[in-house]
């Protein structure tokens, strides 16, 4: 094994041993005009070095869950980015403007548009450049759906507001944006590297519009830095872990409906492409392989307890509703974890190596104590409270050998 390989393995070992832990916490970012305070969640790499940062922009459904906490998706992505020494700052653009969601509102009746959210991005950049742990020359803006449309607006090189900003994103990533608005702009132009990813079957934000946008940009400028990936057999939200289902009551589709849901193959392919793009644009080699990042647990899995077989739904110490959610959990892809709370509730996460930690974070945000019931396809639950696997016992892989 050469020195480069040994050095790489050393870095991975430090990472998995928890040598570089991230700090997380809510922050409030003042708008540029001083009229609003924009809620955000700051996931700092925590090693004190100037690092690149990704600004995250939610879709039309907002950035908070039903309990008013930042959505679990952001915590999952924070784990991915922090593991690569990249800070993450997701924003909540709706709450300070009096909305939880705008999906059901037709565009002509909306009071929150891409222009307002773009201002939030530059307010976040103004906040970031003041942080000693941020490399202001390596800021990326990333968004999903309506947030992705805001990304397209943020990198509009012909817009006077954008041109007036002293610090702009170095690169941008847009998951399934609506490209129609940009196609209607005769002079739309992009100078920063932009990666657009969308599903072939998307009937909410149409893939064909993004194909047309890329063709127009490259026709007007041969070396336009716009990459488009269209994933076959995929709908809106293909990078999610939920099943495909029909959304109803939407304000911006002809039928008021759209199909939304994950596609495991497209999710994996888009994550690979996203990290390759980030590595290239930030000039930063990736520390983890895709398998290390997404396929296995980053925390030591508790041993099977023998309490029950994994498929014995009746043994789960929950109500019928909780048993039903456990049955659903069983159908989800690993790595995954299911936890039971002290008050008979439950939380679970699937399809990501931080599943155990993310599940405990959900419990903590709900101010509830919980213990793991199952991890992947084995039950780890113990009848004795003192013997149960709780958050205090969570250890990163390799920590014991550090």
CA–CA separation, 56 and 148 (whole Å):
9
Q: How far is CA 231 from CA 89, 200, 274, 337, in A?
A: 27, 6, 13, 28
β pairing state of 134-144 and 51-57: parallel
CA–CA separation, 206 and 198 (whole Å):
8
CA–CA separation, 183 and 206 (whole Å):
12
pLDDT at residue 11, rounded to an integer: 36
pLDDT, tens only, 200-251:
999 999 999 999 999 999 998 888 999 999 999 999 999 988 899 999 999 9
Statement: residue 191 has pLDDT above 70: yes
CA–CA separation, 112 and 182 (whole Å):
17
Question: Could you tell me what percentage of the chain is helix, strand and coil, using 3-state DSSP and rounding each to the nearest 5?
Answer: 35, 20, 45
Tell me the average pLDDT of the chain: 90
CA–CA separation, 239 and 234 (whole Å):
9
Contacts of 131 (CB under 8 A, 6+ apart): none
Its sign, for the CA torsion 277, 282, 285, 289, is negative
pLDDT, tens only, 326-349:
999 999 889 999 999 999 999 999
pLDDT at residue 398, rounded to an integer: 58
pLDDT at residue 402, rounded to an integer: 30
Q: What is residue 84's three-state secondary structure?
A: coil
Q: Are 227 and 195 in contact (CB under 8 A)?
A: yes
Share of the chain above pLDDT 70, in %: 93
pLDDT, tens only, 76-129:
898 889 889 999 999 999 999 999 999 999 999 999 999 999 999 999 999 999
CA–CA separation, 167 and 144 (whole Å):
22
């Amino acid at each position: 094994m050469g020195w480069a390989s040994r050095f790489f393995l050393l870095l991975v070992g430090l990472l998995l041993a928890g040598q570089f832990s991230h700090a997380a916490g809510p922050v409030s970012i003042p708008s540029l005009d001083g009229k609003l305070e924009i809620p955000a969640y700051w996931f700092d790499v925590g090693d004190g070095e100037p690092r690149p940062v990704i600004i995250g922009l939610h879709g039309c459904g907002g950035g908070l869950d039903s309990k008013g906490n930042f959505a679990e998706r952001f915590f999952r992505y924070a784990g991915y980015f922090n593991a690569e020494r990249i800070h993450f700052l997701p924003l909540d653009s709706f709450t300070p403007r009096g909305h939880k969601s705008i999906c059901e509102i037709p565009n002509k009746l909306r009071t929150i548009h891409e222009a307002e959210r773009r201002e939030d991005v530059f307010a976040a950049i103004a906040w970031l450049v003041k942080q000693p742990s941020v490399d202001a020359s390596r800021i990326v803006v990333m968004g999903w759906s309506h947030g992705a449309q805001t990304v397209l607006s943020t990198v509009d090189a012909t817009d006077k507001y954008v041109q007036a900003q002293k610090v702009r994103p170095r690169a941008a990533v847009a998951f399934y944006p609506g490209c129609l608005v940009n196609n209607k702009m005769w002079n739309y132009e992009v100078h920063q590297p932009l990666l657009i990813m969308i599903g072939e079957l998307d009937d909410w934000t149409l893939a064909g519009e993004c194909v047309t946008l890329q063709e127009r940009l490259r026709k007007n400028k041969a070396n336009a830095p716009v990459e488009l990936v269209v994933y076959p057999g995929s709908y809106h939200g293909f990078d999610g872990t939920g099943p495909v289902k029909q959304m109803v009551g939407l304000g911006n589709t002809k039928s008021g409906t759209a199909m939304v849901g994950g596609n495991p193959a497209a999710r994996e392919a888009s994550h690979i492409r996203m990290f390759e793009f980030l590595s290239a644009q930030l000039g930063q080699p990736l520390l983890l392989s895709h398998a290390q990042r997404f396929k296995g647990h980053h925390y030591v899995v508790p041993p099977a307890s023998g309490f029950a077989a994994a498929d014995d739904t009746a043994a789960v110490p929950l109500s019928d509703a909780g048993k039903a959610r456990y049955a659903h959990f069983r159908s989800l892809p690993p790595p995954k974890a299911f936890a039971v709370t002290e008050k008979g509730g439950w939380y679970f996460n699937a399809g990501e190596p931080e599943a155990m930690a993310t599940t405990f974070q959900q419990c903590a945000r709900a101010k509830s104590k919980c213990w793991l019931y199952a991890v992947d396809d084995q039950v780890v639950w113990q009848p004795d409270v003192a013997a149960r696997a709780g958050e205090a016992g969570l250890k990163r892989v390799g920590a014991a050998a550090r």
